[in-house]
Amino acid sequence: IEKFDDAEKAFKKYTELIPGDPNPYDSYAELLMKVGRFEESDRRYREALALSGMALPPLHPLRAELLRSWCRVLSVVGKPNEALARCDDAIRLFAQRRSDAQLDSDRTLVNRGLALSALGRAPEAINSLRDAVRGLTGHVPEHHPELLEAKRALSVVLVDQGQLDEGTQLLESVLAAQT
């Protein structure tokens, strides 16, 4: 807790020292997300994105990364429609930004799948999460936390949709990889 308090003070100070720079707001929002203060994280991501529109070129890498992280927070705070829109914005920016952005897009597809699931759009969520798992499988080791998270999320949606065998098998593979 002491380290969090120190980090929070540092990020608050950083935002005061460079008020027009979106990076400290992004970093602070990420810290808040990691400790479960999602409503505050949502506010900081909003500030960071607003600042990035004024301070950065439209295709700057930070804008797409902000959108990807923010869409995750929006899902958690019960704003799945906005989360889906931000995920789609991030994917568009990653696609325009550079040819090597596929890994970033695959990571965003996980967040997109979670938003679609929260909206009750399970078939689309399954497609998004399958695409994420396929893409991440080609870019990260099989024990990588992001790949395991994508597989776990897919397994939950599959089980919820009555695809018990596939969902259970996938979840068992995640649990085996974590041991």
pLDDT on residue 53: 87
pLDDT on residue 61: 82
Joined together, the tokens standing for residue 164 give 């018990």
> How many other C-beta atoms lie within 10 A of the C-beta of residue 39?
11
Phi-psi category of 45—alpha, beta or left, where left has phi over 0 and alpha has psi -120 to 50? alpha
Cα→Cα distances 91→51, 94, 134, 137, 166, Å: 20, 5, 16, 18, 27
pTM of the model: 0.87
Q: What is the mean pLDDT of each run of 10 residues along the chain (179 residues)?
A: 80 86 91 93 94 86 91 94 96 81 91 96 98 94 94 96 96 91
Query: What are the residues whose beta carbons fall under 8 Å from the beta carbon of 8, sequence distance 6 or more?
Result: 28, 31
